[in-house]
Amino acid sequence: MNATDIQAPAQRDTDKGLSKGSVGLLGSVVIGVSCIAPAYTLSAALGPTAAEVGTRLPAIFLVGFLPMLLVAVGYRQLNRAMPDSGTTFTWVSKAFGPWLGWMGGWGLLAATILVLSNLAGVAVDFLYLALAQITGNDAIAELAASVPVNVGTCLAFVAAAAWISYRGMETTKVVQYVLVAFQLLVLLWFSAAAFGHVAAGTAYEGLTVRAEWFNPFGVESFSAFAAGVSLSVFIYWGWDVVLTINEETRGAATTPGRSAIATILVIVTLYMTIALAVLSYSGVSDQGYGMGNEEIQENIFAALAGPVMGPFAILMSIAVLSSSAASLQSTFVSPARTMLAMGYYGALPGKYARVTPRFQSPGYATIAAAVIASGFYAVMRVVSENVLWDTITTLGMMVCFYYGVTALACVWYFRREAFRGVGSFLTKFLAPLLGGILLLVFFVQTSYDSMDPEYGSGSAIGGVGLVFVLGVGILLLGVVMMLLQYRRNPSFFRERFETTELPVLD
Amino acid sequence: MTTAGRRYVVGYSGDKRSKDALRLGVALARASRGELELVHVVRTDDPFQPVYPPVGDVTPIIRRQARTRLEEAARTVPSDVVARTHVREHESVAAGLVAAAEELGAGLVVVGAGGGAGRFAVGPVVGALLHSSTVPVALAPRRYRGDAPLTRLYAAVGTRPGAHLVIDEALAAVERSGLELVLISFLSGEDGEDDGAARRAVQEHLERAAAEARRHQPVTVHVAAGRTLKQAVRDVDWVPGGLLLIGSSRLARGRQTFLGTTAARLLKHIPVPMVVVPRPARTEEN
């Protein structure tokens, strides 16, 4: 609803905060799909995932969804019981105490900052690619490889997104529908064109779809399996928003369950179609357009759109560019709000809780997120050969960590209510327990494997894999920050803070 | 329109413009023995504004801050003015203010319009409000001090149909408050430079309007002329306690924006607060 709409009925005291219109099934699916930004996530994660699991890519996309679904069930229960702005931070604090809660919040913050810098990096690549395609001058696309140009453009993107977010500007419903429809259209077009090439014998590799691609047990090692699942956790990250949308909306046209299932079907079908299309077209060889080629892996659509879609490749550039630019803006809200909540409860210095009066946005936290994300990207771009790849892998690990901890918090928080019935048992105990354990197992396995300097893109610092240095380094930094905050404001860690805890129904 | 206890909604968010608005609200309330309703509209999340990855709703925190800011603001209101505070939630601040004004039966919404370069700058909230408000909107210029009590009401009278709506509103306001009333027509460009036919026509039109108004209140008239609008504005004897009443452009026909070209340009130059009167629900000009 736009700002000038005056048709909305006058608000009464009795319906405070429920001015949202009801979101129907289609609306929920659009929101869910826009939250996972398929064009961006696939471009960034297809290559690294294929590098780990090869032709078992479709299997991993199917299996990787499971822990995410299990955790999301618990997430929804916590959101109903404690509808708090701090989410993971608040819930884990309530279940396991402030120290673990702080680390959970840190994991969420780290993941959102990582995705911010990665999104901006992908947007930069596609910006120059799109410019090259428009002008017909291939040299422009090479600009993205120049470190100063790349970092400068990336900082400009982050600054622009931060400014929009600081001013509290929002994209409208119409924009969301258009963005999502455009992304889906282009991705399906890409898949159809890729299959067309395979059928006509003009594909790079031209493999036929085989049943074994869907067999997750065919993955060569548990390490590869864990790494693949961590990455697919990243590509599905965000869809669970559909579980909470309709709960906040009175008079919702549809139940959360129905819209969640519809969103899942759309997303899994889409990912499966594209995974199969890319796999059939490219194969997994480490040459040319093969998905095993390290040169093209970290941003696969940038390499494949041209040969697959021909002159229409520009559409793919625009789809990924618009998808990552839109996500960049919506991603700013996430760390800023988490910092706002942590600052509010005294887990971060009070200035993070400052809300800009004019724009009603967490101003200080937004700027802090922009500064950290930009600094992180600039350093990484210099240190790492494949910055996008390494941040995506670290990101997968970080999501596994904080989702895993959140899921276990759900199990512990509801330990008394969970055995009251079959439904409670499944949603408050079994699903989050399984999901949490799975994600934490993948987190530990991936952390362990990433010590190998050859892991992921093969970047290393001091003989240790860069992904390990990043992932474990970020968590250790969190411990240091937590101790600093303990010295500054021990009361948060000593007293239990208050949040709304609703009685558990059903 | 009620005479006693007239209510003014002041859009308040705690920033500098809000403080300008509050000072204007106090001046208006004192002039007409009105009461202030300080309204802080907290924007609710649009479900179509996805947050990636999903995090919680921060509106409870923002709502608490809003309450604190309103309490602070209410403490700065002089004791002779009644002020109440309200936190409202709405998707848009402008629509929230309009809804609050309707609900509270307020006759006016006061907002701070100073920002950017000029004394008045129509930002998104004020812009939306000017397009949607069903009650008059008072715009406080940047750094409005409100030191001088309101003494004089200037009503900008155009030559197009609908001018009488502004005059009616002005007469009602003057009746409530006892302010002096001055009807002004602005004349700029070549017509403003000489004493030609154009000027005489405007003068006559203004006199006719004034004659009608004088049946109710004493009225003076003035044709503000100049080569440019800026110079025409300088041709007016603006007093420190002045207030300009102006009609929305929808009084005139064929324009989509609320402020007419002249009114929008006037915004940049006039030194006093301004009240924009909306078109009534019935379209009288046709």
B55, B87, B250: best to mutate for the A interface, most A CBs within 10 A: B55
Q: What is the mean pLDDT of residues B254-280?
A: 68
CATH of residue A209's domain is 1.20.1740.10
Question: pLDDT band for position A81 (50/70/90)?
Answer: confident
Judged against a pLDDT cut of 60, whether residue B251 lies above it is answered with no
pLDDT at A79: 83
Judged against a pLDDT cut of 50, whether residue A458 lies above it is answered with yes
User: Nearest residue of B to residue A176 by CA position?
Assistant: B48
How far away is chain B from the Cα of A300, in angstroms, using its nearest Cα?
22
Q: Which residues of A touch B69 (CB under 8 A)?
A: 357
Residue A321 lies in a domain: yes
pLDDT at A18: 31
Q: What is the mean pLDDT of residues B262-283?
A: 74
pLDDT at B161: 63
Q: Which residues of A touch B91 (CB under 8 A)?
A: 1, 3, 8, 19-20
User: Nearest residue of B to residue A240 by CA position?
Assistant: B54
Are B7-140 and B152-277 equal in CATH topology? yes
pLDDT at B118: 55
Question: pLDDT band for position B255 (50/70/90)?
Answer: very low
User: Nearest residue of B to residue A87 by CA position?
Assistant: B56
Residue B168's Cβ-side half-sphere holds a number of Cα atoms within 13 Å equal to 10
Mean pLDDT check: name the lowest of A202-216, A252-266, A345-359, B215-229. A252-266
> First and final CA of chain A: distance in angstroms?
34
* Arithmetic mean of pLDDT over chain A: 85
Contact A234, A45 (CB under 8 A): yes
pLDDT at B283: 47
How far away is chain A from the Cα of B121, in angstroms, using its nearest Cα?
14
Q: Which of A38, A40, A35, A61 is nearest to A49 (CA)?
A: A61
pLDDT at B191: 60
**Per-residue CA distances from B220 to B36, B170, B175, B207 (Å):** 30, 13, 15, 9
Q: In angstroms, rounded to a whole number, what is the distance separating the alpha carbons of residues B106 and B2?
A: 10
Judged against a pLDDT cut of 50, whether residue B236 lies above it is answered with yes
Question: pLDDT band for position B162 (50/70/90)?
Answer: low
Higher pLDDT, A194 or B206: A194
* Residue recorded with tokens 């409860």: A345
> Which residues share a beta bridge with B139?
B111, B274
pLDDT at A286: 83
Contact A241 B102 (CB under 8 A): no
Provide the chain B residues 154-193 that lie in CB contact (below 8 A) with chain A: none
* pTM summary value: 0.81
Higher pLDDT, A35 or A2: A35
Q: Return the CATH fold of B152-277.
A: Rossmann fold (3.40.50)
pLDDT at B277: 82
B40, B51, B52, B134: best to mutate for the A interface, most A CBs within 10 A: B52
How far away is chain B from the Cα of A161, in angstroms, using its nearest Cα?
13
Contact A245 B44 (CB under 8 A): no
Model pLDDT for residues B79-135, shown as the tens digit of each residue:
999 999 999 988 888 889 999 999 999 989 999 887 655 556 667 778 778 777 888
- Joined together, the tokens standing for residue A247 give 């709960």
User: Nearest residue of A to residue B95 by CA position?
Assistant: A6
Contact A219, A74 (CB under 8 A): no
Contact A330 B49 (CB under 8 A): yes
Percent of chain B with pLDDT over 70: 81
pLDDT at A185: 94
pLDDT at A410: 94
Tell me which CATH code domain B7-140 carries.
Answer: 3.40.50.620
Judged against a pLDDT cut of 70, whether residue A106 lies above it is answered with yes
Q: What residue ranges do the domains of chain B occupy?
A: 7-140, 152-277
Q: DSSP for B85-101, please give it.
A: EEEEEESSHHHHHHHHH
Beta-carbon contacts of A233 under 8 Å, excluding residues fewer than 6 positions away, are A64, A67, A68, A396, A399, A400, A403, A439, A442
Percent of chain B with pLDDT over 90: 28
Higher pLDDT, A29 or A372: A372
Q: What is the mean pLDDT of residues A474-482?
A: 94
Give the best-scoring range by mean pLDDT among A189-198, B52-61, B252-261. A189-198
Contact B55 A108 (CB under 8 A): yes
DSSP B249: G
| A3, A17, A327: residue with CB nearest B52 | A327
Contact A91, A117 (CB under 8 A): no
Q: Is the peptide bond before B53 cis (omega within 30 degrees of 0)?
A: yes
Judged against a pLDDT cut of 60, whether residue A249 lies above it is answered with no
Beta-carbon contacts of A306 under 8 Å, excluding residues fewer than 6 positions away, are A313
* Arithmetic mean of pLDDT over chain B: 81
Judged against a pLDDT cut of 50, whether residue A63 lies above it is answered with yes
User: Nearest residue of B to residue A114 by CA position?
Assistant: B53
Buried b (16+ CB within 10 A) or exposed e, A156-168: ebbeebbebbbbb
Provide the chain B residues 42-101 that lie in CB contact (below 8 A) with chain A: 42-62, 65, 69, 88-96, 98-100
Judged against a pLDDT cut of 90, whether residue A145 lies above it is answered with no
| B44, B128, B134: residue with CB nearest A19 | B44
Residue A8 lies in a domain: no
Q: In angstroms, rounded to a whole number, what is the distance separating the alpha carbons of residues B35 and B5?
A: 6
Question: pLDDT band for position B164 (50/70/90)?
Answer: confident
Q: Which residues of B touch A37 (CB under 8 A)?
A: 52
Judged against a pLDDT cut of 50, whether residue A1 lies above it is answered with no
Model pLDDT for residues A252-269, shown as the tens digit of each residue:
444 666 777 888 889 999
Q: DSSP for A342-397, please give it.
A: HHHTTSS-GGGG--BTTTTB-HHHHHHHHHHHHHHHHHHHHH-SSHHHHHHHHHHH
A26, A333, A337: best to mutate for the B interface, most B CBs within 10 A: A333
Q: Count Cβ–Cβ pairs < 8 Å, chain A vs chain B.
A: 163
Contact A244 B95 (CB under 8 A): no
Sheet containing B108-112: order of strands: B83-90, B35-43, B7-11, B108-112, B137-140, B274-277, B242-247, B152-156, B180-188, B219-226
Q: In angstroms, rounded to a whole number, what is the distance separating the alpha carbons of residues A177 and A394?
A: 31
Residue A502 lies in a domain: no
Q: Looking at the 3D structure of chain A, how many domains does it have?
A: 1
DSSP A246: G
